Chains A and B, each alone.
Chain A
Amino acid sequence: MPLRPKACGGVKKSCWALAAMVAVMVGAAILPSTAQAQVSGTIAVQNDDRFRGRSVSEGEPVVIASVFYDHDSGVSAGGSAVVTSNGPDVGLLRASGHVTFAHKFDSDLSLGGGLVVQSYTDRYSSGRAQTFAEVFGGVTYGQFALHAIYSPSYLDHELQTLYIEFDAVQELGSGFRANARAGVITRLAGEGSFGGEDTRYDAQIGVTKDFDRLSLYLNASIAGSGRGTYFSGPWQGRDAVIVGISRSF
């Protein structure tokens, strides 16, 4: 059974969410970097935008801007906006905002959690604007991280999901670092499935070369099982190579 859209999804709701995200980003950008708080961010361009292994930009390149505001208390807020050209012109694809808390127990161990709200415009691969929220909690230990992410209405559908995600980062020396990520999403309740299955996995592995504040990255991304392609706007490959460049500021 395909995913069933929630009745409340729509462009107006999406626009309000986008406005809120932009407000968070602008606010974070103009707040002074006091001794107790730090404002930072990244801007990146990459050849595809994938969410848990699936393209949300119809395989088109995107530019991603993100801003974070980290307070010494462990609370952090931030937002990101993604623009793409998968329509007749260039425009906003998605925006997200998050509030998180993290506590460091020692140099290796941190626990944290938070709330993230994502909003997609009708440039999203499904062609339908939507907004949905997720809450998460997890642990980081050294270069490893494990998070559980719960959504009461995944992708704005009547579907409760739990996504378990494992990340690892390893410095390789000479400015290179390797990263790997694997995740599995499970239907907890509600109607719908992931291509006929109750669970779906995705994974990525890649390498990044840092030049001071500039980073070049190359990632291999795989998603789910079954055929080599899936329909999302145009046909998309389950496996993809993501290349990009980002600059932190």
Chain B
Amino acid sequence: MIARAFVLLAALLMPPLGAGLAAIGPWVPLAHQAATRSEADSDPSGANTGERNERNMILVMIEQSPNRLRPGTAYSSGYGSAQTEAARERLGRTIASEYDFEFVELWPMPLLGLDCIVIRFTNQYSAAEAALIVAQHPLVAWAEPDDLYETLASVSRQKHRDDPLAALSPTTDGWNLPRLHASWTGRDVTVAIIDTQVDVDHPDLAGRIKAARNFAPQSPARPEFHGTEVAGIIAANAGNGIGIAGVAPEARILALRACWQRGSSRSSTCTSLNLARAINYAIERDAKVINLSLGGPPSRLLGELFDTASRRGLAVVAAYDPTLPMGGFPASHPNVIAVALMGVSAGRGYVAPGRDIPTTQPGGGFHFVSGSSYSAAQVSGLLALRYERSRNQGGPWRSLARTRSESREIDIAESFD
């Protein structure tokens, strides 16, 4: 019967289908095309963080038409938007060609009811200018540059290998983590770490990784520093006789690589598009906490995703950068919990320890790190504990008590009383 079906297909429809496909284009998956182009066009080790977007990409948003019943179609159709994706891609190509720009790919975002069209513009414009031009198109909801973001960490100071380092963490005593862990460990609370590649084989992270995905095609995925460090602070195993104990040692990690490490410099870069894809994935996979230890320019697309995450009951935590207005983005977004280094003067959110924090490093070892990236990670871990407590006892969990009303320091006893 199957053979007969293929005979039918070949006899009746292959010639017109073949002609149609020839008109549509080659059979190379678009995602692969995009990845190939990105790898060819970008230089991860020399990524530019200045005002000019060297990758010449903008993100163009178009409202998706409503899902609808389409009678008489094939047996797997459902009500999703997959049937019309090819047409929406053609629309994206049409819009790009109207401005003599190049269509790169279509990314459907049912979560926001939008299609994100990635367009490469010509060198005569800045990213902001190109976005402004395309935003005038009547079908475009808005357009924005595919900006660059930086992780917020300073270099590590010294290395220790296979030492029991938990006692050296300022939060072990400062937040009395052993006492907290007697009641709450973040058991099965999903925390999405949107960062560089986490070393999923690190022994102190064994059993903690729920899933790992790579959204950064700019460089090959391999264990990288920043993501591994953040993961250890949030969820390293406790009581296993090695290394450290995370703030939420039984949380489950979604290790989502949206940033790439620039050579061996330990500094890391992300793009708006990579971040949007990872945040979208985290929301769809029902993460409870999203950790973003990074900062950069404001993005409406990322802001819309944070608002959606907030409406769905997620907590989004971001590192505060005191060198940028309002701590930079995403820390400045209203639905994001901003976290600064202890001792840094800042407007809102919290402060948490972030200097000389022992944590995991790629390859199975441990070292000390400093930066507001790690302050944010500490608070993400605390929120995982708060969620577990709320799951068992009820009550809100996305805010923490402060030591004084005007203080930004966290009152652990009050928060977990």
Listed in ascending order, the chain A residues whose CB lies under 8 Å from chain B are 33, 35-36, 38-47, 50, 59-66, 68, 70, 72, 74, 76, 78-80, 82-85, 90, 94, 96, 98, 100, 102-104, 106-108, 110, 112, 114, 116, 118, 134, 136, 138, 140, 142-143, 145, 147, 167, 169, 171, 177, 179, 204, 206, 208, 210-213, 215, 217, 219, 221, 242-244, 246-249
Contacts and interface: CB of A to CB of B under 8 A. Distances in A.
Nearest to A140: B67
Q: Which 9 A-B pairs have the closest CB atoms?
A: A107-B113, A61-B5, A217-B76, A40-B87, A44-B74, A110-B66, A96-B72, A104-B66, A38-B87
A66 B137 CA distance: 30
Given A38-B91, A47-B2, A249-B86, A212 B29 contact: yes
A66 B84 CA distance: 11
Given A43-B13, A61-B5, A169 B87 contact: no
A45 B66 contact: no
Contact of A68 (B4, B29, B83): B83
Contact of B67 (A66, A79, A145, A247): A145
Contact of A248 (B63, B82, B111): B82
B88 A47 contact: no
B284 A246 contact: no
Nearest to A33: B90
Given A61-B4, A74-B65, A147-B69, A246 B84 contact: no
Contacts of B79: 140, 143, 145, 167, 169
Contact of A107 (B6, B20, B110): B110
B112 interface: yes
A179 B5 contact: no
Nearest to B308: A107
Given A70-B87, A85-B8, A249-B24, A100 B68 contact: yes
Contacts of A102: 65-68
B12 A38 contact: no
Given A38-B90, A45-B6, A85-B4, A70 B84 contact: yes
Of B12, B24, B87, which is in contact with the most chain A CB atoms at under 10 Å from its CB? B87
B78 interface: yes
B174 interface: no
Given A33-B94, A35-B91, A143-B80, A90 B74 contact: no
B5 A112 contact: no
Contact of A110 (B67, B78, B114): B67
A60 B7 CA distance: 12
Contacts of A40: 83-88
A206 B110 contact: no
B69 A100 contact: yes
Given A83-B12, A102-B66, A107-B111, 18 more contacts: A40-B88, A47-B1, A47-B2, A60-B4, A61-B2, A63-B13, A66-B72, A110-B67, A140-B66, A147-B69, A167-B79, A219-B75, A219-B76, A242-B75, A244-B75, A244-B76, A247-B21, A248-B86
Nearest to A147: B69
19 contacts: A33-B90, A35-B138, A39-B87, A50-B75, A60-B1, A61-B4, A68-B83, A72-B139, A80-B71, A96-B71, A98-B70, A102-B66, A102-B67, A167-B78, A167-B79, A208-B76, A212-B29, A213-B24, A249-B21
B182 interface: no
Contact of B72 (A63, A79, A140, A210): A79
Given A61-B8, A90-B12, A167-B78, A112 B69 contact: yes
Contacts of B9: 45, 63
Interface string B42-78: 0000000000000000000001111111111111111
B155 interface: no
Nearest to A116: B71
Contacts of A80: 71-73
